[in-house]
């Protein structure tokens, strides 16, 4: 009886939701740009999130930020939120210009893309007001669904919430002379690939709409801590609420992007009678899986991408399905689970899908599942592979008693190189989440393959067979739940540089308020040229200090004068933080007690947020 009651309530909720929402807005499909020369412009706009609805959003232009394309005549294509979908071609050379017409600086990061450090679009590549950022690079990623978004230091959350995001994907090669090209070309022919017809981008987000205190206009809330977000947010799919999507009665490919700033979604498919409809997953963040996997539901966390196949062949015209978020079944500690710290995240339909037999699309040649896709390209590793460990913690930020999530009790400092990896090396990264919140971890430049997930006792706790979206494909983004210690193998085989703070890639939590509050670090890929890990000055010094050690007393001494509070960090030669101290302004010699450092050589880094001092010191 209990099961019947819950099913009735679910049916009642969908029915009432359908009547209340009415799914009156066609799902917008951003226009496609398939060109090796791309001219993006970031602008302010006004957007109607509910053009055919009847609630307070309906017919209300709301201020947004958006990306658009400038053609050869300088004509701006009109989008009022998000950006066009960019289709890159594997092995082609790209030239991209991004013009910033916002009233404040911006950046554009190619999330998931393998690009040189100066083209990454992270916090160091700021685009000043009225300026244009010009870059060029080859497309080194194979077929994959990625995205682009701002990455301004401390302001990423605001700019993403205001609308700046866009999907991009790398097309399968249609020519070439290697076996891998041939395989990808075969997959292109096998899988649906008519953009907007049987190959559909789906961007999942949430937003809170509030009244501006000065004008009373409805605006997007961009504050970190507004408690109204916990119950009054709206699901936004491709920029609208309550969307429907007409699909052909054939195989359909859906490219999902969780472009949300906080929420993880638990996606499933239901038919109009509430029966679960299995789907076949074919790709993770960075490309094809080794095989298709039939699933009933899957998590997608902020920053992640997934690709599915849904087979609508044989269904009658007008058959209805729902892309559905089961928030009540999301595990504890994940933002997006119902009841998480007061958040209301009930089960809810996100998109209504309607089979339309008048839409023409090629019939699939897939006869049965599973289908073989692309072999995993896991880098080789063994017991001698260097293991780099990171701990997710919550601690006080420098100069304040406020406690925020961070990595290794270290908050992001753009002047500090947190880690140095060697060009051509392979490492194991072990990420230990000691907090009570799940964090979606993202690393720039390259992708990785998850090898193990342990608990804090060292016991394996996640079965790879049951979680193919974690273990069976290349990733650049992964959700690390409370109590997990997740390990992955990663290779750094291109785009090495000298070691400098402005020649770094980021790693961070993709819950954007966490990122903006400092849960981010940066690493350099050292190419062996110029000052390196074994050099006296791995980064240019802008603070005038001297440093020396006393072996017998286990002490370090800083000598000089500095009128600002600083942070002292001591690293080993692999870039791991051994000790961190907050220092007040000083004049003269400042003694530092070395706590538990046994390594003979260390890097000493002192920074005040603007300037930096670095030196290699012999302790033993």
- Residue 587: Cβ within 10 Å count: 9
Range list of H helices, 320-378 = none
Confidence (pLDDT) at 462: 84
**pLDDT for residue 306 is more than 90:** yes
Residue 8 domain flag = no
Domain boundary (474, 492, 526) is at: 526
Residues of the chain above pLDDT 90, percent: 69
Tell me: the pLDDT tens digits for 485-516? 999 999 999 998 888 888 999 999 999 999 99
Domain boundary (470, 491, 526) is at: 526
Determine phi and psi for 158, rounding to 5 degrees: -60, -45
> Which of 5-9, 70-74, 278-282, 553-557 is most confident?
278-282
Residue 379 domain flag = no
* Separation CA 36–CA 270 (nearest Å): 39
| Cα–Cα nearest to 464, from 387, 388, 378, 390 | 378
* Separation CA 481–CA 344 (nearest Å): 20
Looking at the structure, tell me whether residues 241 and 338 fall in a common domain.
yes
**pLDDT for residue 11 is more than 60:** no
CA 121 → CA 200, 202, 263, 514, distances in Å? 26, 23, 24, 19
Given a contact cutoff of 8 angstroms between Cβ atoms, the answer to whether 194 and 32 are in contact is no
Confidence (pLDDT) at 193: 95
CA 260 → CA 239, 281, 406, 525, 602, distances in Å? 12, 21, 20, 29, 40
DSSP state of 497: B
Structure tokens at 185: 């070309």
Looking at the structure, tell me whether residues 253 and 313 fall in a common domain.
yes
* Separation CA 253–CA 383 (nearest Å): 40
Query: CB under 8 Å to 209, separation ≥6 — which residues?
Result: 49, 56, 57, 62, 218, 219, 220, 221, 234
For the chain, the residue count is 620
Q: What is the pTM of this model?
A: 0.84
Please count the CA atoms within 13 angstroms of the CA of 94 that sit on its side-chain side.
29
The residue-averaged pLDDT of 348-353 equals 97
**pLDDT for residue 4 is more than 50:** no
Looking at the structure, tell me whether residues 301 and 328 fall in a common domain.
yes
Residue 532 domain flag = no
Looking at the structure, tell me whether residues 513 and 573 fall in a common domain.
no
Query: CB under 8 Å to 61, separation ≥6 — which residues?
Result: 46, 47, 48
Residue 539 domain flag = no
* Separation CA 91–CA 139 (nearest Å): 5
* Separation CA 568–CA 247 (nearest Å): 58
Looking at the structure, tell me whether residues 338 and 452 fall in a common domain.
no
Burial class, 177, CB count within 10 angstroms (exposed 0-12 / middle 13-18 / buried 19+): exposed
Confidence (pLDDT) at 1: 35
**380-383 own/partner pairs: CB under 8 Å, 24+ apart:** 380/426, 381/426, 381/428, 381/451, 381/489
Q: Across the strands, what pairs with 320?
A: 354
Rounded to the nearest integer, the mean pLDDT of the chain is 90
Residue 82 sits in a domain whose CATH number is 2.60.40.420
Cis amide leading into 338 (omega within 30): no
* Separation CA 543–CA 613 (nearest Å): 5
Confidence of residue 2 (pLDDT cuts 50, 70, 90): very low
Looking at the structure, tell me whether residues 434 and 403 fall in a common domain.
yes
Looking at the structure, tell me whether residues 44 and 158 fall in a common domain.
yes
* Separation CA 200–CA 244 (nearest Å): 12
Tell me: the pLDDT tens digits for 236-260? 999 999 999 999 999 999 999 999 9
The residue-averaged pLDDT of 141-169 equals 97
Given a contact cutoff of 8 angstroms between Cβ atoms, the answer to whether 77 and 69 are in contact is yes
- The full 3-state SS of 193-238, as one line of letters, equals CCECCCEEEEEEEEECEEECCCCCCEEECCCCCCCCHHHHCEEEEC
DSSP per-residue codes, 286-319 = TEEEEEEEEESEEEE-TT-EEEEEEE-TTPPTT-
Residue 586 sits in a domain whose CATH number is 2.60.40.3080
Residue 172 domain flag = yes
Q: Per the structure, how many domains does the chain have?
A: 3
Confidence (pLDDT) at 173: 73
Looking at the structure, tell me whether residues 77 and 168 fall in a common domain.
yes
Domain boundary (355, 375, 408) is at: 355
Residue 31 domain flag = yes
Residue 410 domain flag = yes
Confidence (pLDDT) at 543: 86
Confidence (pLDDT) at 596: 77
- Please report the sign of the dihedral spanned by the C-alpha atoms of residue 178, residue 180, residue 182, residue 185: negative
Residue 19 domain flag = no
Looking at the structure, tell me whether residues 331 and 192 fall in a common domain.
yes
Looking at the structure, tell me whether residues 178 and 300 fall in a common domain.
yes
Query: CB under 8 Å to 534, separation ≥6 — which residues?
Result: 573, 616
Confidence of residue 18 (pLDDT cuts 50, 70, 90): very low
Looking at the structure, tell me whether residues 86 and 147 fall in a common domain.
yes
- Containing structural domain, residue 592: 545-618
Given a contact cutoff of 8 angstroms between Cβ atoms, the answer to whether 172 and 253 are in contact is no
Looking at the structure, tell me whether residues 521 and 549 fall in a common domain.
no
């Amino acid at each position: 009886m209990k099961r019947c009651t819950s099913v009735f309530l679910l049916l009642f909720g969908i029915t009432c939701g359908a009547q209340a929402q009415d799914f009156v807005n066609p799902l917008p499909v951003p226009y496609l740009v398939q060109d090796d020369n791309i001219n993006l412009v970031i602008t302010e706009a006004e957007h109607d999130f509910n053009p055919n609805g009847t609630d307070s959003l309906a017919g209300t232009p709301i201020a947004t930020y958006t990306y658009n394309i400038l053609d050869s005549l300088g004509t701006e294509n009109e989008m009022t939120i998000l950006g066009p979908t960019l289709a890159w071609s594997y092995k082609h050379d790209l030239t991209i210009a991004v013009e910033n017409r916002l009233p404040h600086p911006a950046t554009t990061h190619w999330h998931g893309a393998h690009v040189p450090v100066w083209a990454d679009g992270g916090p160091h590549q700021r685009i000043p007001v009225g300026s244009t950022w010009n870059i060029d690079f080859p497309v080194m990623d194979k077929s994959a669904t990625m995205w682009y978004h701002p990455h301004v230091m401390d302001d990423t959350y605001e700019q993403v919430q205001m609308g700046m995001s866009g999907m991009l994907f790398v097309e399968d090669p249609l020519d070439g002379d290697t076996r891998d090209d041939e395989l990808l070309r075969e997959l292109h022919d096998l899988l649906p690939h008519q953009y907007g017809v049987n190959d559909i981008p789906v961007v999942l987000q949430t937003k809170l709409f509030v009244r501006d205190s000065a004008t009373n206009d409805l605006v997007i809330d961009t504050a970190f801590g507004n408690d109204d977000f916990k119950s009054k947010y709206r699901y936004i799919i491709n920029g609208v609420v309550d969307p429907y999507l007409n699909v052909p009665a054939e195989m359909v490919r859906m490219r999902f992007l969780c472009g949300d700033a906080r929420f993880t979604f638990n996606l499933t498919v239901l038919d109009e009678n509430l029966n679960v409809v299995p789907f076949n997953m074919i790709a993770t963040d960075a490309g094809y899986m080794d095989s298709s996997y039939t699933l009933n539901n899957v998590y997608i966390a902020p920053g992640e991408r997934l690709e599915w196949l849904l087979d609508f062949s044989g269904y009658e015209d007008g058959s209805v399905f729902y892309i559905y978020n089961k928030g009540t079944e999301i595990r504890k500690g994940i933002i997006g689970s119902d009841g998480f710290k007061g958040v209301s995240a009930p089960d809810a339909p996100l998109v209504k899908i309607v089979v339309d037999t008048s839409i023409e699309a090629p019939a699939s040649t897939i006869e049965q599942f599973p289908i073989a896709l692309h072999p995993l390209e896991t880098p080789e590793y063994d017991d001698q592979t260097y293991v780099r460990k990171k701990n997710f913690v919550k601690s006080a930020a420098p100069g304040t008693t406020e406690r925020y999530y961070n990595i290794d009790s270290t908050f992001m400092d753009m002047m500090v190189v947190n880690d140095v990896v060697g060009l051509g090396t392979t490492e194991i990264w072990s990420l230990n989440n000691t907090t009570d919140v799940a964090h979606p971890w993202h690393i720039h430049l390259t992708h990785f393959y998850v090898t193990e997930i342990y608990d804090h006792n060292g016991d394996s706790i996640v079965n790879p067979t049951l979680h193919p979206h974690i273990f069976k494909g290349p990733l650049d983004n992964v959700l690390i739940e409370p109590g997990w210690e997740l390990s992955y193998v990663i290779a750094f085989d291109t785009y090495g540089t000298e070691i400098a703070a402005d020649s770094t890639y980021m790693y961070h939590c993709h819950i954007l308020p966490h990122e903006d509050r400092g849960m981010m670090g940066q690493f350099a890929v050292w190419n062996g040229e110029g000052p390196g890990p074994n050099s006296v000055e791995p980064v240019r010094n802008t603070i005038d200090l001297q440093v020396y050690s006393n072996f017998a007393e286990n002490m370090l001494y800083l000598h000089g004068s500095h009128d600002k509070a600083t942070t002292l960090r001591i690293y080993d030669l692999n870039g791991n933080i051994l000790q961190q101290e907050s220092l007040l302004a000083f004049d003269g010699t400042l003694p530092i007690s070395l706590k538990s450092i046994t390594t003979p050589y260390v890097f000493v880094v002192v920074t005040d947020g603007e300037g930096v001092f670095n030196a290699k010191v012999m302790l033993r």
